[in-house]
Structure 1
């Protein structure tokens, strides 16, 4: 099983990637299509994935948006991730990300990835050095069919070659609530 698919997608985001997630549902994941009432009586639906920025305004990368197709992600299908972001400064060779993937309290993966190398290996449209400016990165990966029906939490902490903050993302993908 390729458990690294989610962090690799997140690393693609880091190659050109910040977003402030306003979660009125306070972190609860609700199966797609079920109505949800927030604290102010508003009714809406929530997909089975979300992401939040844990960085600072001074980070090298600012994520404007992340979208996925299909939404929500489905095991055994291709997943296309589109990231719109702004590089606030040059991102050079040597930038890296520490990625942790958890299933509940259990760490499934804790690994350091070279951001520029991962972008090269994925043939991403944005390559190092990344110059300041706005970028859109679209990447498709095949999700393994064997992904367990579980909620995965992915924490990504990115750093520049000078050890300054690059980006900070937290992702949650809940395969329990996705279609069979």
Structure 2
């Protein structure tokens, strides 16, 4: 199963994480079910919350992180379970991203931790046939990645914490993502 909240990661982390985020919230949906924003505000740093109709994110990264988010948009907005979701990310890569880059991901339903896992960013990019592949050279990138959201996503509010690191263990990205599937 695929879910895309992590697809909100920029560039390589975005495209690589699309499929693993899909899996993460798909698993979350299975756990919850027992079966095994309209106008996005983007481009502001310093931890400001970007509020949409049913999703939002906080860029908790530093100006020295290897990936700097400029904007994130999704279509359809808001995301719809059972439909394809395309995530559009504009970001700047400040340092080369090589094999060994990884992301620690935690998915929560309220205060309940549903999933905590570490993902190899480059491997996920290869598996998802992402347009950006390792090594990623410094520069500006615009990435669009489409994934299918599982229809089994329960009507609930999810949060996803993503902490990404380069192969040299330097900070790559920090995002806190929120999605509310309770809204119509």
Indicate the TM-score class for this superposition, using the shorter chain for normalisation. 0.7 to 0.9
Q: Provide the secondary structure at the position in 1 that maps to 2:4.
A: helix
Instruction: Give TM-score, length-normalised by structure 1.
Output: 0.80
Indicate which of 125, 145, 170 corresponds to 1:119: 125
Does 1:55 find its partner at 2:61?
A: yes
SS at match of 1:83: strand
Give 5+ residue unaligned stretches, structure 2.
Answer: 15-42
Of 103, 128, 153, the residue aligned with 2:134 is 128
Q: How does 1:76-155 map to 2 (within 5 A)?
A: 76-155=82-161
Q: Which residue of 32, 48, 60 maps to 1:22?
A: 48
Give the 3-state SS of the residue equivalent to 1:9 in structure 2.
helix
| Structure with bigger gyration radius | 1
Deviation, structure 1 residue 6:
3.3
Cα distance in 2 for residues equivalent to 1:153 and 1:127: 27
**Structure 1: gaps spanning 5 or more residues:** 30-45
Q: TM-score, normalised by structure 2?
A: 0.78
Matching residue of 1:161: 167
Aligned residue in 2 for 1:64: 70
Instruction: Say what the alpha-carbon RMSD is for the aligned residues.
Output: 2.0
Greater share of helix residues, 1 or 2?
2
